[in-house]
Structure 1
Amino acid sequence: MGGIEGVNSRIASIQSRMIQLQGQQATTTTGATSAKTGAAPAQGSFASQLRNAVAANQGTDKTYKLNSKGIPEDLVAYGNGKIPPTALGQVGDTRHKLWAPAAESLTKMIDDAKKDGVKIGITDSYRPYAEQVDLARRKGLYSQGGLAAKPGTSEHGWGMATDLDLNSDALSWMRKNGRNYGFVENVARESWHWAYRPKS
C-alpha cells in the first residue's frame, strides 16, 4: 500500500490503538488516584503506540514510481550522488546510509540473517558524487577493467546499492534470500555488490 491511501491507513490504525489505550487506562485508574491527581496517562503511552504502529507497518509492500532505469522519480529529481540527508536512512547501528526504504530493508535483512546464524557486514553504501570521482581515479572504470562506475551513474550514487562483507555462508544466504528483501546481485565480477530494486 503506498501514497495517501497508505498514510490514511496508518493514521487510522494509530487512532484506533490510542482509543483502545485510553479505554484501558480509564478502567485501571482508581477513584482515589483520579480525584487527587487527575490520573495522568502513563508516560510514553502515545510514543509507545506510535512506535508499535510504525513497526507494524514497516513490513508492508510499498510501490514507487520508477523511471526507465528503475530509479524512483523522487531520487532522479536530486541527481546521482546528490541525495540529501533527509532522503537517506541509516542502516541499523552502522555508519552506512542508503535511500531510506533500502536502508530499512537492508537493516531487516541483516537482522533476519543474524537470527539464522549468518553475519552480513557492510563495507560501502551511499556514495556522493565527489567520492565516485575519487574511486574512479583510484580503482579505474568498470568498463575498462576497473572497479568503479562512471561518476554520476553509480547505483551507490542513488543510495540504492551496498557492498557487503560476505563469507561463503553469508553469500549463499544472500543468493537464496536477498531478493525477498529487494536486493539483487547484478555485477558479474562483484559478488559483494547488491542493488536494491523497489517495486513499481
Structure 2
Amino acid sequence: MITSTPTPAGLTSRTGARGARGRLAVAALAALATIALVAGASATPAHAATKAWGGYSNGKIPLTSLTKVTNGWLRTDAAKGYSSFSAAFNSKFKKPLSVSEGYRSYTTQKAIFTSRNSPHTKPQHNDTEWAGKYWTRKPGTSLAAIPGTSVHGWALAVDFGANVQKAGTAEKKWADANGPKYGWYPVGNSYGEPWHFEFTPLPVKK
C-alpha cells in the first residue's frame, strides 16, 4: 500500500511561485502514479468481476441455467471449453478429463468454509473476517473462499481429477500447458491446489 511519495529535495527547498508550481507538478505526477498502481493492483480476470450473471448472484444460480458436465455443472461457455479440453486430454492420455467439482452453491460454499476454518471473536494472525466473526484456517486444510465469493459460485471453476490434481505428473504438466487454449487456466498453482482451474472466455475471433 502506498502511504507517501518522496519529493525531490530541490523542490521542497524552493519558495515562491516557482517552488509552488514545482510542488504542484510533483503532487500531480504522484497522484497519477498512485492511480495507475492502484488500478494495476486491482486488475482482475473477467470472471472475477462478474456480478449477478444471468440475473443471479454467486452460488445462487439454478441448475436449469447451467450445463451438466462430468460430476458437476458449469456455465455454458465454460462447459464448451471443458468439452474441447477434455477431448484433447482424452486423445493424449486415452482417458477422460474427470471433474471432481464444478459449480458450488452458496450453501456448499458455507459448509466448506466453516469446516475448514475455526471461528473466534478476537482477531488473530492471518484471520478472515466473515459473518461477524474472525476465522482461522485449520491445519492441514485447503483454502476456502468466503461464502458468496468463490469462482466455483459463478460456475467458472473446476477441480480436476485424472491425475491432473497431482503436481509434477505428465497429465498435470500437459493440462497446465494446454488448458489456456480452451480458456482453462491453472490458477490453483499459486496457492497449492494443482487441481483448481478457472475459465476465462477466449477472445472472439473476427
Q: Same fold (TM over 0.5)?
A: yes
| Structure-1 separation of matches of 2:45 and 2:199 | 13
> What residue is the counterpart of 1:157 in the other structure?
153
TM-score normalised over the length of structure 2:
0.57
> What residue is the counterpart of 1:115 in the other structure?
91
Which of 1 and 2 has greater Rg?
2
Contact 1:89-1:97 at 8 Å conserved across structures: yes
Secondary structure of the corresponding residue to residue 97 of structure 1: strand
Contact 2:185-2:199 at 8 Å conserved across structures: yes
TM-score normalised over the length of structure 1:
0.59
**1:139–1:75 CA distance, 2 compared to 1 (3 A):** same
Aligned-pair CA distance for 1:100: 1.1
Counterpart check, 1:103 vs 2:79: yes
Please point out which of 130, 136, 145 is paired with 2:107.
130
**1:69–1:113 CA distance, 2 compared to 1 (3 A):** closer
Identity of aligned residues (%): 31
Contact 1:135-1:148 at 8 Å conserved across structures: yes
**1:170–1:137 CA distance, 2 compared to 1 (3 A):** same
| RMSD, aligned CA | 2.5
Aligned-pair CA distance for 1:137: 1.2
The answer to which structure has the higher strand fraction is 2
Contact 1:118-1:169 at 8 Å conserved across structures: no
Aligned length: 132
- Residues 127-151 of structure 1, C-alpha deviation per residue, up to 9 Å, x if partnerless? 0100000011112399654421110
Q: Which segments of 5 or more consecutive residues in structure 1 lack a partner in the other structure?
A: 1-67
Superposition pairs for residues 48-127 of structure 1, below 5 Å? 70-71=46-47, 72=50, 75=53, 77-91=55-69, 94-117=70-93, 119=95, 120-127=97-104
Aligned AA (2:146): K
Please point out which of 190, 195, 198 is paired with 2:198.
195
The answer to which structure has the higher helix fraction is 1
Contact 1:163-1:194 at 8 Å conserved across structures: yes
- Residues 42-68 of structure 1, C-alpha deviation per residue, up to 9 Å, x if partnerless? xxxxxxxxxxxxxxxxxxxxxxxxxx6
**1:150–1:171 CA distance, 2 compared to 1 (3 A):** same
